[in-house]
Chains A and B, each alone.
Chain A
Amino acid sequence: MKMIYALFGRPFYWAETKEQMYLIGVKSLFLIILTGVFAGMGFALAFAVELADFGAKNYLGRIMAISIVRELGPVLSGLMIAARVAAGITAEIGAMKSSDQLDAMVAFGIDPMKKVVVPRLISLMVMVPSLTVVMDVIAIIGGWFVASFVSNVSSNLYWSTVREKLIFGNMFLGLLKPAAFSLIIASISCYKGFTSEGGTKGVGRATTESVVLSSITILIVNFFITKVIFATIKGYL
């Protein structure tokens, strides 16, 4: 709650936010691209083999679009960013706490919530959905590669069937999830950093807990969002 409250009102640390956007967004890009390419190709390969048994290989594009945009893209992006960023945030804040840097900030009239937490929260809220879109695009391109060069599905057919499923409902679900995941990653990683105790050992323990808890929470929340939203916007899917 403190984190959300700190979002509003001045001061706003724009320089720190830009720096965090770079660290979280740009620095995660390679990881996201790599994950997207191979996840997309792997999925396409597995689906193509199964669909071929039913003579339904032409549906590969549709299945890829639905599974990647609704589920795979958001979840994989969330997990990858949780692994890379949550660990970093918890370790950084934990180290600042154990070396009294957070208290030093307070002594100098700076609110650590606004200076440390808010820039990371905003950066995650912007960057996790953005990276998810990148992951979606790359994974679908990976799927196209397998469809065209391995499974002999024509490019035109693949892309036209992908486009059929890039509709409001799927896109909404595919962007709502990463927005929720960004809140999960920010709140858990910052909380674990602020509450870490016991020096470097404690920071290490908090970092591990932060990644594990973020990952599990992402998977659980993903299921419930799918369940609730699917029922709500079924007509748009």
Chain B
Amino acid sequence: MIELRQVHFAYEEKPVLNNISFNIEDGEALVIMGPSGSGKSTILRLILGLEVPQRGEIIIDGENISELREADKREIRKNIGMVFQQGALFDSLTVGENVGYYLLEHTKLPLHEISDRVGKMLGFVGLNTYEIINKLPEQLSGGMQRRVAIGRALLSTDPKIMLYDEPTTGLDPQATSNVIHLINKLHDERQICSIMVTHQIADALAVGDRFVVVVEGEVAFDGTLEHLRDSQDPRVLAFLAPFRESFDRVHHIKFA
């Protein structure tokens, strides 16, 4: 379980998050939404321990990650997979080396064993292993890069928590659908807790069991789809207004 307690965070003088509190249960699919610059990605960085809040606590399985030493944070991170915006694949490594990165760095497994696991993982994320394993990330489409990034995160430590930072931004509808399908597959088949940051309402509704709306660094909403639809908070209404039509359509499809 992850719990954020009254978290305040600022980059130098610029406040980003103000008194953020919510929790995420094991196996839950939580979507963090909000306009650009509202601090959504920073929440993921705080959960992963890449940033330390000025005030507040981030409790992961009983440990406050922001108070831990770097070596102890590494232990916590073993349970967390992160898919960064744009994938953040290592551009000097091949697809195979990217996916097998953790195993190559942290284990003494023989190369053929790592290669087998990489092949299986690429297959799992819906990619043709033999076609792409020796390619460089720049030779792949955006959608393929995201799927490779998901595969890399999964092959690291068999994570219990997956963090997705705008995983569909910049992708065409087909690639978006593939990535969303993969996120749902992981959540459903492996019971991995998914935390996705997005401002794409359709993607949010396709993935989330629960929704947190962050506006100007504050939690404006925390609840289920029904509550989100009925929310009268002016900040939530303002955020959803441009998407109201697609929101209603997707909601209708999802619950029809």
* Interface residues, chain A, with chain B CB atoms under 8 Å away: 95, 99-101, 103-104, 106-111
Contacts and interface: CB of A to CB of B under 8 A. Distances in A.
Nearest to B80: A107
A104 B77 CA distance: 11
A111 B78 CA distance: 14
Contacts of B85: 100
A6 to B, nearest CB: 12
The binding surface of chain B is classed by DSSP as mixed
Given A107-B77, A109-B74, A109-B106, A101 B82 contact: no
5 contacts: A99-B86, A99-B88, A100-B85, A100-B86, A106-B48
A100 B74 contact: no
Given A103-B45, A103-B50, A108 B88 contact: no
User: What are the 9 closest A-B residue pairs judged by CB atoms, nearest first?
Assistant: A100-B88, A100-B84, A104-B88, A109-B74, A107-B82, A108-B102, A101-B88, A103-B50, A101-B90
Interface string B51-95: 000000000000000000010001001101010111011110000
B87 to A, nearest CB: 8
A107 B48 contact: yes
Contacts, number: 43
Contacts of A109: 74, 77-78, 102, 105-106
B156 interface: yes
A101 B91 contact: yes
Contact of B50 (A101, A107, A110): A107
Given A101-B91, A107-B48, 9 more contacts: A99-B86, A99-B91, A100-B84, A100-B85, A101-B88, A103-B50, A104-B82, A108-B102, A108-B106
B50 A106 contact: yes
A100 B106 CA distance: 20
A104 B148 CA distance: 13
